[in-house]
Amino acid sequence: MTTPIPTVGRRDMTILSSGALAGLLSMAALALRGRAEAGSAAAPLNAVSHWLFGERALHLDRADLRHTVLGAIVHVASSMFWAALYDRIVCRRTPRPAALAAGAAGITAVAAVTDFKLIPERLTPGFEHRLSTRSMVLTYALFATGLALGAIATRRSR
């Protein structure tokens, strides 16, 4: 008796590619802007772990397994969540690249409002404590870019 090998469907590929690219591009922005503004590329990702480790995580500059890796995991998991929502609301309805890009911008705006206005302080991304508003806008812009590029690339590969 053989066990069937799980396959990755088209929907899953869009979510994976969009979520991974959005997560990686926005993490690159966090690291670059963290180095420029906080003196540490790890500081913004460490701050993401404040929901578990509290105030200390918001001020930690050095990279470590406990804070930086957890921050990266939470960031990528969040990216996958928003990519799944993007796929469900936008990608299933339109094949046009311009509409996919506009949808990515819309989902990212909803993510930002959720992150900073709708959820309790303890669950915010945390990097807002280490970065300027300008850097956060860049981070979210690259997030939207990753969502759109991932969806467009997946569509073109079919």
Residue 83 lies in a domain: yes
What is the Cα–Cα distance from 54 to 43, expressed in whole angstroms? 14
Question: What tens digit of pLDDT does each residue of 15-33 get?
Answer: 999 999 999 999 999 999 9
* β strands within the chain, DSSP E: none
Residue 6 lies in a domain: no
Residue 100 lies in a domain: yes
Range of the domain at 95: 15-157
Number of structural domains (the chain) is: 1
User: pTM value?
Assistant: 0.91
Residue 4 lies in a domain: no
Residue 149 lies in a domain: yes
Residue 119 lies in a domain: yes
Residue 111 lies in a domain: yes
Q: Is 128 exposed, middle or buried (0-12, 13-18, 19+ CB in 10 A)?
A: middle
Question: What tens digit of pLDDT does each residue of 43-86 get?
Answer: 999 999 999 999 999 999 999 999 999 999 999 999 999 999 99
Q: Quick check: helix, strand or coil at residue 119?
A: coil
